[in-house]
Structure 1
Amino acid sequence: MQAPEMTPIVQLSVEAPAVPLLSWLSAQTQYPRIYWHGRDKVEEVAAIGLCKQFYYQDQVDDHQLAADYQAQRGKGTSQDLRYYGGVAFDRTVECWPEFGRARFVLPRIELRRRGQKIKILLNLNFDNQNRELEYQQALDVIAKIEKPKPLSPPNKTRLMSRSDLPDKDRWRELVEQVTQHNFNQTTPKVVLSRQTQIEIAEQLDPWTVLACWQGRNPNSFQFGFQFSPDRTFISCSPERLYLRRQNELFTEALAGTTIRGLNQEEDDLLAQQLLDDVKNSHENQLVRQHIVDALKPLSQYVGADEKAKIFKLTHIQHLHRAIRAELNAGVNDFDLLRALHPTPAVGGLPRHSALSFIRQREGYARGWYAGACGYFNHYESEFSVAIRSALIEPRRISLYAGAGVVAGSDPDAEWQELENKLATILSILIDF
């Protein structure tokens, strides 16, 4: 095994017949364990081990993060080198252990499936590393790889307790504060969220849970990050932050929600009511305009749908507007993350005052919930907004959901929207 002298990071690859990637990942005993399945369903990825990383636990400066990333771009010649990870919703506050305020990993071993073939990738880091030691560490990871085992549906577990933060009374207070005329005049939208923490009787395999969730929400992004045995963050999120192919950018405004109907006629009626609803249409338009305004300084061209369309999920449907941009030369992924994240669909408008309200009053740290999760490399990057997500710990699961609060929002209706958004994952987990 010989690596070019002047290439600090080397990637070796081989093709093989496809295996079920979530089954393979669940069987592994090495960390990190990472899963990524884009909403377009073209490619599925499972990865283990650590070749190199960017990790910011205590403090993170976006400009330093961008500089660190740019410094690595010239250290590998392969177009396939990808760093997977995420940034927290609010990078100014303390985040979950092991996840940090931002963490991106170049995995040791990566499996990428397209159709019936997988590409197996091995990453080697010779940047200020002893070559023989690097070879041996890679061989050790290969030697410990386990064969995939069939995933069986999880038995619904017994709910021991449930707590909501904020609780319903506090939620009502917060919605009333946001909708007060004086506050709403300067901060027209705040996305309030809730952490629903459930204590359960049995321990669950997070990858089995994700596989079941994936089956219920096939037209979502599906991803998971497990940096230790203690915590796994999984998500089935409908929302794209952006997809970048060289200088071409695709993003969207996804805001405004209603439930699905019991039959086609009722479903179509609910969809039309959502399209006609003033509050939801205003909320989606705010998100669209903010994204367009944020992209203009970075782009030669920005275009967005004038009219909203309906985006359907299993239990709910959203208003959706597509946005496309041609980026200026030299714009990188961290320029985009700074400009777009957090979007008004998960934070609010204006960003600074909405985030300040959330930080001071919501009552818990969101961590990677409503953060940006995905991957980046030289030529293509994709990030999802990590809504519809769960943090799985031994015998404890934290579920997250949010609702955009604007003038005219009703506290009880917004609370019910949170319940609707958690319906799919709760139906998988809990034996009521």
Structure 2
Amino acid sequence: AEERRSGGKGDHATRNTQHTVSYPMSYAQWNTMISSATAQIQAGAFQKVVLSRVCEIRFDADVAVDQAIAYLNETYPECYRFLFEPRPHHAFYGATPELLVQMNGREIATMGLAGSAPRGQTAAADTQLANDLLASEKNQHEHRLVVDSIRRRLTPLTAALEIPAEAQIYTLSNIHHLYTPIHGTLKNDTGILSLLKYMHPTPALGGTPRDVAMGFIQAAEPVTRGWYAAPVGWLDHKLDGVFGVAIRSAVAQNNRVWAYAGVGVVGQSDPAEEWRETEVKFRPMLHSLGIE
């Protein structure tokens, strides 16, 4: 699908608002991919896989990435905002809600973030959607797979590990997530890079079991992910630091932008519902470019 539009969203719109929006993967292709994943999950090949699709936007002029990141800074202050621009007009940027790992000495923090629902149009509808998310067997199952995997990975490395028994609601301006904060104390001084290598990708980004799910992703997704969902963050001379995962992100090259959105797929997943979830997850990046 492709459409040509003009107009923008607020002061942070790209300088030239003539643009086209297209999606390299059709809904029919998406339906086939998700249905294949659920069939393999139901057959016992794996338990969960995270699948993504791409939105491509073409402008009539170079993209104003500075305005896009300014919009994200203003609209998503609770997220980890990032911008890499290795050369002019070639950038990777986004606003991720998902912490991969934070380290201060032997103290670490991470999170399980999986399972989501859109925001409601009214306060009552919004509360109902959040409550429905908490009550959703499918979303709770998807979330538990992530938390259980993180627990298994961290237990041998930690002297203490704190994981709440129940998921919470984590609300952003456009979406609700199921969220479990996780804190621990490492047995040894490992440094954040070793821990990143050990933890990434969690089932919130790849799937479980990891190797089987990653193999399915590589075979099924028609567009390579590149930096999408990669660890992004900072570290200091002591190898302490903070890293998130680069979801809710986009690559900009001159007048073109590729935005990414992914969903966690389990045995009960419905292709139409997962498609709608990606539409919600595209919105931060589209809005950052002035596209409604």
Mapped partners of 2:167, 2:279: distance in 1: 24
Contact 1:156 1:430 (8 Å CA) reproduced: no
Contact 1:178 1:184 (8 Å CA) reproduced: no
Pairs within 5 Å for 1:381-396: 381-396=241-256
Pairs within 5 Å for 1:55-70: none
**Could you tell me which residue of structure 1 aligns to residue 223 of structure 2?**
364
**Residue 99 of structure 2 is aligned with which of 240, 247, 261?**
240
Mapped partners of 2:110, 2:276: distance in 1: 28
- Encode CA deviations 1:2-58: one digit per residue, 9 max, x unaligned: xxxxxxxxxxxxxxxxxxxxxxxxxxxxxxxxxxxxxxxxxxxxxxxxxxxxxxxxx
- Encode CA deviations 1:71-112: one digit per residue, 9 max, x unaligned: xxxxxxxxxxxxxxxxxxxxxxxxxxxxxxxxxxxxxxxxxx
Mapped partners of 1:414, 1:383: distance in 2: 27
Contact 1:157 1:431 (8 Å CA) reproduced: no
**Residue 173 of structure 1 is aligned with which of 12, 15, 32?**
32
**Residue 80 of structure 2 is aligned with which of 213, 221, 240?**
221
Mapped partners of 1:159, 1:190: distance in 2: 36
**Could you tell me which residue of structure 1 aligns to residue 266 of structure 2?**
406
Pairs within 5 Å for 1:254-273: 254-273=113-132
Letter in 1 for 2:228: Y
Contact 1:154 1:208 (8 Å CA) reproduced: yes
**Could you tell me which residue of structure 1 aligns to residue 7 of structure 2?**
none
- Encode CA deviations 1:238-272: one digit per residue, 9 max, x unaligned: 00001101000000000000011122221111110
**Residue 275 of structure 2 is aligned with which of 407, 415, 418?**
415
**Could you tell me which residue of structure 2 aligns to residue 347 of structure 1?**
206
Check 1:309–1:291 CA distance in 2 against 1; reply closer, same or farther (3 A cut).
Answer: same
Q: Which has the higher contact order (CA 8 A, sep 6+)?
A: 2
Supply the RMSD in Å over aligned alpha carbons: 1.7
**Could you tell me which residue of structure 1 aligns to residue 149 of structure 2?**
290
Q: Does 1:316 align with 2:175?
A: yes
Q: CA deviation at 1:302?
A: 1.7
Check 1:249–1:412 CA distance in 2 against 1; reply closer, same or farther (3 A cut).
Answer: same
Mapped partners of 2:142, 2:89: distance in 1: 38
Mapped partners of 2:161, 2:138: distance in 1: 25
Letter in 2 for 1:210: I
Letter in 2 for 1:380: D
Q: CA deviation at 1:154?
A: 3.0
Contact 1:220 1:236 (8 Å CA) reproduced: yes
**Residues 327-336 or 159-168, more deviating:** 159-168
Check 1:322–1:395 CA distance in 2 against 1; reply closer, same or farther (3 A cut).
Answer: same
Mapped partners of 1:296, 1:159: distance in 2: 52
**Could you tell me which residue of structure 1 aligns to residue 71 of structure 2?**
212
Check 1:296–1:213 CA distance in 2 against 1; reply closer, same or farther (3 A cut).
Answer: same
Q: CA deviation at 1:223?
A: 0.9
For the residue of structure 2 that corresponds to 1:180, the secondary structure is helix
Structure 2 unpaired stretches of 5+: 1-10
Q: CA deviation at 1:337?
A: 1.2
Contact 1:159 1:430 (8 Å CA) reproduced: no
Q: CA deviation at 1:323?
A: 0.7
Q: Does 1:231 align with 2:90?
A: yes
Contact 1:242 1:249 (8 Å CA) reproduced: yes
Q: CA deviation at 1:431?
A: 4.8
Check 1:259–1:297 CA distance in 2 against 1; reply closer, same or farther (3 A cut).
Answer: same
**Residue 302 of structure 1 is aligned with which of 138, 161, 174?**
161
**Residue 200 of structure 1 is aligned with which of 59, 68, 79?**
59
For the residue of structure 2 that corresponds to 1:360, the secondary structure is helix
**Residue 274 of structure 1 is aligned with which of 120, 133, 136?**
133
- Encode CA deviations 1:202-246: one digit per residue, 9 max, x unaligned: 222212110112212121111111111141011100000011010
Count of aligned positions:
281
Mapped partners of 1:313, 1:367: distance in 2: 26
For the residue of structure 2 that corresponds to 1:325, the secondary structure is strand
Mapped partners of 2:41, 2:162: distance in 1: 33
**Residues 230-239 or 180-189, more deviating:** 180-189
Contact 2:192 2:239 (8 Å CA) reproduced: no
TM-score (norm 2): 0.91
**Could you tell me which residue of structure 2 aligns to residue 427 of structure 1?**
287
Larger-Rg structure:
1
**Residues 177-186 or 208-217, more deviating:** 177-186
TM-score (norm 1): 0.63
Mapped partners of 1:155, 1:197: distance in 2: 15
Contact 2:63 2:89 (8 Å CA) reproduced: no
- Encode CA deviations 1:119-172: one digit per residue, 9 max, x unaligned: xxxxxxxxxxxxxxxxxxxxxxxxxxxxxxxxx633574454333243211111
Letter in 2 for 1:426: L
Contact 1:298 1:331 (8 Å CA) reproduced: no
Letter in 2 for 1:356: G
Letter in 2 for 1:317: H
Letter in 1 for 2:147: R
Percentage identity across aligned positions? 33
Structure 1 outlier segments of 4+, above 6 Å: none
